[in-house]
């Protein structure tokens, strides 16, 4: 049992069993078809699912992708650099740098790609078979900021006219997009 009085970064830092240092959740594929409009699913092994990571500064995640277009949409990790290792399949990956330039390439089974801390990045399956990648992070809790959800699902809402100007579209289009995102 965890000592509730001793906490670091909001998480218990006293451990009683080997189970505090074990997580079997990366062993099985996640369902990328039902309930996943993106055709992808992320299973995190971070301090929230693996208490023994507290104060160690590392974590991992498994991402499963549907074939031909399963997407992990544009997002960033504010507290971590990510190194992605493709276990199966083929992904198109990339991140956006200054001057809105996308640095991307195709990454196949056995290959690695790095996303620097805080930069918006994405992955997309481009093969006929499902893809699987494992990511390692230099943080026990890297955080994920999904770009579309942050802009179109914020509560209180980002003003429609601001988003319309930013995306060079009209308010009706922005409102339609907003209707697809539940407020955070």
Q: CATH code at 25?
A: 2.60.120.10
Given a cut of 70, the residues of the chain with pLDDT beneath it are 1-6, 8-9, 12-15, 183-184
Select from 23, 35, 29 the least CA-distant residue to 89.
29
Same domain for 112 and 159? no
Same domain for 88 and 120? yes
Query: The tokens of 56 are what?
Result: 């160690």
Same domain for 110 and 151? no
Between the CA of residue 131 and those of 23, 33, 121, 179, 181, what are the distances in Å?
A: 22, 13, 17, 30, 26
Same domain for 71 and 97? yes
Q: Does 12 reside within a domain?
A: yes
30: number of CA atoms within 13 Å, CB side? 24
Q: Does 106 reside within a domain?
A: yes
Q: Does 60 reside within a domain?
A: yes
User: Does the annotation list 82 as a binding residue?
Assistant: yes
Q: Structure pTM?
A: 0.89
Specify which residues 65 forms β-bridges with. Answer: 40, 131
User: Does the annotation list 19 as a binding residue?
Assistant: no
CA 28, 33, 34, 37 torsion-angle sign:
positive
Q: Does 1 reside within a domain?
A: no
Same domain for 132 and 180? no
Strand order through the sheet with 40-45: 40-45, 59-65, 131-137, 82-88, 112-115
Cα 20 to its chain centre, rounded Å, is 23
Same domain for 110 and 59? yes
> How many residues does the structure list for the chain?
184
Same domain for 64 and 119? yes
Same domain for 99 and 171? no
Same domain for 76 and 155? no
User: Does the annotation list 72 as a binding residue?
Assistant: yes
Same domain for 133 and 153? no
User: Does the annotation list 121 as a binding residue?
Assistant: yes
Structural contact between residues 60 and 49, judged by C-beta atoms closer than 8 angstroms: no
Q: Which structural domain range is residue 156 located in?
A: 144-184
Same domain for 151 and 137? no
Same domain for 43 and 104? yes
User: What total of structural domains would you count in the chain?
Assistant: 2
Structural contact between residues 126 and 88, judged by C-beta atoms closer than 8 angstroms: no
């Amino acid at each position: 049992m965890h000592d509730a009085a001793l906490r670091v970064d909001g998480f218990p830092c006293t451990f009683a069993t080997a189970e505090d240092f074990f997580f079997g959740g990366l062993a099985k594929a996640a369902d990328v078809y039902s309930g996943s409009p993106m055709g992808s699913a992320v299973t995190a092994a971070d301090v929230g699912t693996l208490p023994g990571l507290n104060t160690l500064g590392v974590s991992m995640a498994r991402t499963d992708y549907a074939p031909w277009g399963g997407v992990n949409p544009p997002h960033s990790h504010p507290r971590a650099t990510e190194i992605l290792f493709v276990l199966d399949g083929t992904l198109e990956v990339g991140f956006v740098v200054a001057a809105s330039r996308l640095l991307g390439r195709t990454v196949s089974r056995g290959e690695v790609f790095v996303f620097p801390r805080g930069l918006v990045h994405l992955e997309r399956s481009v093969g006929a078979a499902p893809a699987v990648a494992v990511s390692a992070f230099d943080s026990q809790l890297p955080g994920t900021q999904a770009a579309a959800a942050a802009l179109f699902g914020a509560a209180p809402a980002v003003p429609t006219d601001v988003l319309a100007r930013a995306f060079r579209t009209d308010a009706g289009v922005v409102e339609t997009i907003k209707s697809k995102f539940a407020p955070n």
